[in-house]
Amino acid sequence: MTQLIVALDVPSAEEAEQLVEQLRELDVLVKIGLEALYGYPERILSYCEARDVRMFVDAKLHDIPRTVGAAIKQLVRPNVHVINVHALGGLEMMRAAVDASGERSAELGITPPHIFAVTILTSIGAEDFNELGLQGGPGENAIRLAALARDAGCSGVVCSAHEVRDLKRFFGDDFLTLTPGIRPTGSAHGDQKRVTTPAQAVAAGADYLVVGRPIVEAPDAFAAARAILEEMSVEASSGTTR
């Protein structure tokens, strides 16, 4: 069943903690992104761990294999469910991340978190590929990078919901997909270019949906998250997925 991840992309630990408390009754994960990791990392990680809230650590690691492996070992802890790296870091780097996750988890006696590889950011549109020097479009590049991630032992990839069906067809349902760029109907896209609604992402077969601003900036974050969960549930029960 598709799971919702709420992005705690807020400037202060107090705001992040308030969101965690507002959403604790719902069956959601929270995303600890770069804003939190650079601003108040230990406080929010410990806060979520103490409250048994599952976390997606959106670190987007991209460096030499040894450095990425060392960073992963610092991020593995109870309740961290997913950590991501950039697929463009290459096969060896991704393998180092997967190996480090397993080693540190064994030391702690916990289940290893999933290591996901970021394929193509959802803020990058088809028109941006020539500028980046990449051949082909978003879908072609996502599949190529996903193949590398699979070979490295990653649990899945971060991608647009537009690529999910093809990825599932190529790599099977056990290869997981985590999709940002999710916007309920009528919500502003902001800096996201390849977006879908929650229902469209569920119908495509996405395993995790990341939603930030439509929940975080809503007058009632709990109500906004619950509405998205209801939309996801209705789509899942309709029998239209994949």
Active-site residues: which are they?
A: 60
Q: Among the residues of the chain, which ranges form H helices?
A: 13-23, 34-39, 41-50, 65-75, 91-108, 129-132, 138-152, 164-171, 198-204, 213-216, 221-237
CA-closest candidate to residue 7, choices 51, 60, 55: 55
Asked if 78 and 49 touch (Cβ cutoff 8 Å), the reply is yes
CA angle 16, 22, 27 (to 5 degrees): 105
Asked if 232 and 202 touch (Cβ cutoff 8 Å), the reply is yes
Q: How far is residue 203 from each of residues 1, 2, 20, 162, 179, measured CA to CA in Å?
A: 11, 10, 28, 11, 12
